[in-house]
Chain A
């Protein structure tokens, strides 16, 4: 890690004034006049150095971040944008000094682009934006990650950062890829040209990461050999000049890892050898051989393996067939693989409920813990495996480079509806959860298309809808799994159709405007990093569990309280049944004498006792059901349900279903646990018993089932289309730039759901 020593020009004048942030117009070296922001770095918290990680997309920035952070990263947002940032503490290590607080900024091509990510990056560098919960302040160090295999373009961003006069470190990542392509980077020469430290790394293997840590500690304001021009075209020339200075093959090669001179090193036919100093694999190219290679390739752009793959994967027919297969495989594995851990989690919560009921004294605390907390949270947490698996698979796909191709394939299908191909990834992510899906919309460059995608993303079947779908399709097609699966897929299709239909209407009315044509870099296909995918999944799991542990827990507790109070007196019928049960239990065992039957006397006695006990249990269960129903009817929840029931009358819902639907406005997945509480007075006792309990549940007349065929279909359609997620509305308001968009989303989706559900109910009933 070498570089030219700082000459101090333009630095010392403000360097002694901590906390100063001034703007001035100055003449930089080379005579280019441009507005120059001079930031004196300061530590926002006074403890850790704030370090911003910046770079072009697909430069391995997040891989490096994961290498630096290990498992300590946390996800947070920038206030006002909901643009996610991952932050972590980087330990100072053996060199001593302060820790670093590392912020992983979104990948951008230029700081000057009119894009949301670029704006946030600009604001972070200016010190006017910081991750939520962190104090404002310009970063003390900017680490610019550049792709060694495409260095000249990446250096344009380096130039833009340099113009901001912040201490910086250039990390030349993917040096192995560059070496394979015949580009050898002389980090020392590049560092000297740029006037700051330049560290070669291979973030994927972890090589050079310690040097990055040291570089962060020693970062300084760059003093480039050539002044950075302000004009974009001139900046390109500047970056090429920097490239030519840094990427020329050194006459005396040095090891990229330790700087050891490699003269006389024996290499194989590919120019590879082992450094005698550190033992690392190095690519050695003589100046002549490198020059010859360049000359021979000057007019030639080689066909790559990715090109050959693209012939198939971007083919109008074959490409779509592969795409459909990949997506089907993704969702199939989601249900098949996630089933087992879901069962395990369900069993754990069931065991916890039983444990609480067995060991806690009867009373409010036991009811709250067993029914409100454990049961309610368990009904949500059980979907964690599906969410994790979906994010893991999406992350793997993204890492292979296929998702960019998928976006282009979808561009053809989405464009007629006014949505861009960029919308594919947000819509796919929304199948796990609408929140990250909406946040991913920031990658859509056109504001109208971005807004349209944000508005329709919640139509995608998120994992919160799955328990409702499972419940309703199982009730509709009990004992017919194939038909249930067909209905399940139909729900996904209906959601997608509703989304594109809504997008079309929005783009023809309130978001009318020309569509912006799509341009996207197609990264080379590569083997995905499981580590990166796991870390992404871990991030998402944390967010989901945080939500389950806060919002959903609160909802469950409130619902439990509303359902449990005020305490209603048990009706006469319940008291009779309880008396009957007590009397039956007191019946002496000798009443079951062998004379009552013939044959084996002992066995007959045991059978009779068993039957008697079953009868007692049945009477007790009936009494419990009636008491729970009475409690539900007279509770606060029951009163609310009866008040709002007329609104849902056209859809065929009674007051109990009305409560379930209303409670789902906080979070859809709450529907199942709410219905469990309302109908049986008990929390989820396992899937089978829940289905049986709900299928037996009746209206107030005690005869008509709550879940008739018509109401079940109506509910299914309602849940596919309705907007029932407060966090999604909050994110929509922030991402779309106003509450009116969230309100529009709520009214449009719920209105469409209401009308469609009413029509379905009318047709089926």
Chain B
């Protein structure tokens, strides 16, 4: 008779975690313009056309980038902060001005 099956480690599937993270982000994501001055958020989604998204990414405004809203209004000024939890390499001195229409379509998760 075969003995009881040995307890096999179950491979961890990262997909559900990622999906959960996306779901959490989607639930808590707010437009960048809804932050208050001085608040910090992490970019989780940008509903932009391809060219705008590519330009912003090249300028440093990519997914999971931490941004601080320095100025509300037109233009909306953000300071680039940390990326994926790491330290910001520009030491928070890099400022990007965004037209309000653009900032409205960038969604962030508020972190501070």
Interface residues, chain A, CB within 8 Å of chain B?
A: 109-110, 112-114, 149-153, 156, 181-183, 232-233, 236, 240, 243-244, 247, 294, 297-304, 306-307, 310-311, 314, 316, 404-405, 408, 411-412, 421, 445, 516-524
Contact = CB atoms under 8 A, between A and B. Distances in A.
Contact of B74 (A109, A307, A411, A524): A411
A232 B91 contact: no
B85 to A, nearest CB: 9
B1 interface: no
Given A149-B90, A151-B89, A240-B83, A522 B55 contact: no
B24 interface: no
B75 A411 contact: yes
Contacts of A152: 83, 89-90
A110 B58 contact: yes
A519 B87 contact: no
Contact of B73 (A110, A244, A316, A445): A316
B89 A243 contact: yes
A311 B54 contact: no
B99 A301 contact: no
A149 B93 CA distance: 8
Contact of B83 (A182, A236, A311, A520): A236
A96 B97 CA distance: 46
A301 B88 contact: yes
B73 to A, nearest CB: 7
Most buried by A among B71, B74, B88, B93: B93
A300 B58 contact: no
A517 B87 CA distance: 29
A168 B80 CA distance: 28
A298 to B, nearest CB: 6
Interface residues of B, number: 44
Given A306-B95, A310-B95, 16 more contacts: A150-B94, A181-B90, A182-B91, A232-B58, A236-B57, A240-B86, A243-B89, A247-B89, A298-B87, A314-B75, A316-B74, A517-B101, A518-B75, A518-B99, A519-B98, A522-B96
Given A149-B91, A517-B99, A114 B75 contact: no
Interface in B61-93: 62-63, 66, 68, 70-71, 73-75, 77, 79-84, 86-93
A521 B94 contact: yes
Most buried by A among B54, B59, B92, B99: B99
Given A112-B54, A114-B51, A408-B75, A520 B96 contact: yes
Nearest to B111: A299
A519 B56 contact: yes
A310 B71 contact: yes
A519 B101 contact: no
B5 interface: no
Contacts of B73: 314, 316
A524 B93 CA distance: 8
Nearest to A294: B87
A578 to B, nearest CB: 72
A405 B96 CA distance: 11
Given A314-B75, A445-B51, A519-B98, A300 B92 contact: yes
A244 B83 CA distance: 13
A566 B92 CA distance: 74
B71 to A, nearest CB: 6
Contacts of B88: 297, 301
A113 B77 contact: no
Chain B binding surface, main DSSP class: mixed
Interface in B38-60: 40, 51-52, 54-60
19 contacts: A109-B59, A150-B93, A153-B80, A181-B93, A232-B57, A299-B40, A299-B82, A299-B112, A301-B81, A304-B95, A307-B70, A307-B77, A408-B75, A518-B75, A519-B55, A519-B98, A521-B59, A522-B97, A524-B95
A297 B80 CA distance: 13
B62 A411 contact: no
Contacts of B81: 301
Contacts of A404: 97
A516 B102 CA distance: 9
A153 B89 contact: yes
B112 A310 contact: no
Contacts of B86: 240, 244
Contact of B90 (A114, A150, A516): A150
Nearest to A156: B58
B55 A153 contact: no
B96 A521 contact: yes
Contacts of A303: 70
Most buried by B among A153, A299, A303, A524: A153
Contact of B92 (A236, A247, A301): A301
A517 B52 contact: yes
Contacts of B95: 304, 306-307, 310, 521-524
A211 B66 CA distance: 36
Nearest to B68: A301
B97 A113 contact: no
Contacts of A294: 87
A42 to B, nearest CB: 30
Nearest to B96: A521
A109 B51 CA distance: 13
B13 to A, nearest CB: 22
Most buried by B among A183, A240, A244, A520: A520
Contacts of B80: 153
Contact of B87 (A297, A314, A523): A297
A314 B77 CA distance: 10
Contact of A297 (B57, B92, B98, B102): B92
Nearest to A315: B73
Nearest to B82: A298
Q: Which 8 A-B pairs have the closest CB atoms?
A: A301-B92, A109-B58, A517-B102, A110-B58, A152-B89, A517-B99, A150-B90, A518-B99
A172 B38 CA distance: 31
A153 B101 contact: no
A409 to B, nearest CB: 9
